[in-house]
Amino acid sequence: MMLEANPDRAIHVPELCAAIGISGRLLRLCCQEYPGMGPNRYLWLRRMHLACRALILADPLTITVTEIATAHGFWELGHFAVGYRTLFGERPSTTLQRPPPRQ
């Protein structure tokens, strides 16, 4: 599967449709059946979780929230921050500043 083959890369609906050879309409229908949400929402959640993981593992002395957000396809930083806080309960900068978990 394309998502499994690219675990750290933001993927968007047109790219996914082209890779699996189906129309956007068929993808939306399939996504409503499973996982119960549209493909845009699913891919947005995936990118948010990838960004969260990157923030957790990053060194705040060498990278910024902006760099991580844009690397994961978020160009409207205010919307990213609001969505992140809604989803994870804290600001992205708080996640970045927290010491990484022990391995």
Residue 101, pLDDT > 80, answer no
Return the CATH superfamily for domain 2-97: Homeodomain-like (1.10.10.60)
Structure tokens at 91: 């600001």
18/40 Cα distance (integer angstroms) = 15
Residue 4, classified by CB atoms within 10 Å of its CB into exposed (0-12), middle (13-18) or buried (19+), is exposed
Tell if the pTM clears 0.95, that is, is over it.
no
The pLDDT tens digits for 16-73 are 889 889 998 999 898 888 888 988 898 899 999 999 999 999 999 999 999 999 999 9
Q: Would you kindly state where each structural domain of the chain is located, as residue ranges?
A: 2-97
Q: Note the pLDDT of residue 65.
A: 98
The pLDDT tens digits for 14-25 are 998 898 899 989
From residue 79, give the alpha-carbon distance in Å to each of 16, 31, 59, 76, 98: 23, 24, 23, 6, 22
Residue 99, pLDDT > 80, answer yes
